[in-house]
Amino acid sequence: MHEQRQPARTARPRHYLMCRPTYFAVDYCINPWMDPAKPVDTALAVLQWERLYDLYQELGHTVELIEPVPGLPDMVYSANGATVHDDRVLVANFRYAQRAAEAPAYRAWFEKAGHTEVKAAEHTNEGEGDYLVVGGRVLAGTGFRTDPAAHAEARELFGVPVISLTLVDPRFYHLDTALAVLDDDEIMYYPAAFSEDSRRTLRELFPDAILADEADAEVFGLNAVSDGLNVLLPQAATGLADKLAARGFRPVGVDLSELLKGGGSVKCCTLEIRHRATGGHR
């Protein structure tokens, strides 16, 4: 229908790890979205999560599951469990005691799945919550959760440039709540979530980035997952959906309202397992 000139987008099949929200609850408060006084409908959370799980598979992606652990209500946010690049796994080391036991659970999953390069992190880092792989580099958040010293640890393990970005708005406490990777060199982000210096860095590295406004950021529109063509994002982020469509992406709105009560959405529920390129065999 549209005769607009747009880059040709292609989806690349991905490998994800998710965790069913069987024991999801908001029993404690470690970010401004969590209010233990507000009721949470765990059964609805499961239904909403299952829709996302199904969508990925309908789009041709491989999704593996980690067994949820009773007493770890935030384990559904699998993005926080680790960061995987070129088959190297850097396991999370959580900031708050309430989530600390998730780290050994994720570590055990990767080891059992046959991953041979699995590192338990020395410094505090919350996995892909704060580490986003963009092509041959890693954007790394700090300010609320991940320790700046962890960025050097990631650089050493992955052997790629790690660009530190400082978050300044407590509503956007993880990098993946303020910035989403769309393709190897394309991102979208909410500038006001970053320090002045980090905004400058982002402008220099990604002059053509899609910029989100506050309304879209507040409904977690940036907590999105892209396969290069399809961009799954909270359905309330309609402004971002329009901007994505204008760039030739295919926005797919998802309703994860229950999981938003814990301070997470699409991306938080999705850990990407990135494999080493196999020299043109795929």
Q: Which of 61, 85, 268, 269 is catalytic?
A: 268
Smallest separation, CB 67 to ligand ARG (Å): 19
Which of 55, 24, 44, 63 has its CA nearest to residue 271?
Answer: 63
Q: Which is nearer to ligand ARG, 171 or 245 (CB)?
A: 171
Smallest separation, CB 8 to ligand ARG (Å): 30
Active site residue 268: yes
Other CB atoms within 10 A of residue 76 CB? 27
Beta bridge partners of 226: 231
Q: Which is nearer to ligand ARG, 166 or 177 (CB)?
A: 177
Q: 12 vs 209, 274, 276, CA distance in Å? A: 20, 12, 14
Radius of gyration of the chain (CA): 17
Q: Which of 61, 85, 151, 174 is catalytic?
A: 174
Structure tokens at 241: 């959906």
Q: Which is nearer to ligand ARG, 99 or 243 (CB)?
A: 99
Beta bridge partners of 84: 89
**Residue 10 Cα to chain centre, angstroms:** 20
Q: Which is nearer to ligand ARG, 248 or 257 (CB)?
A: 257
Contact residues: ligand ARG, CB under 6 A:
30-31, 34, 74, 77, 79-80, 99, 129, 174, 176-177, 262-264, 268
Smallest separation, CB 220 to ligand ARG (Å): 9
Residues 6+ away with beta carbon under 8 Å from 280 = none
Smallest separation, CB 4 to ligand ARG (Å): 33
Active site residue 115: no
Q: Which is nearer to ligand ARG, 143 or 263 (CB)?
A: 263
**Residue 39 Cα to chain centre, angstroms:** 25
- Greatest CA separation found in the chain? 53
Smallest separation, CB 26 to ligand ARG (Å): 8
By annotation, the residues acting in catalysis are 174, 268
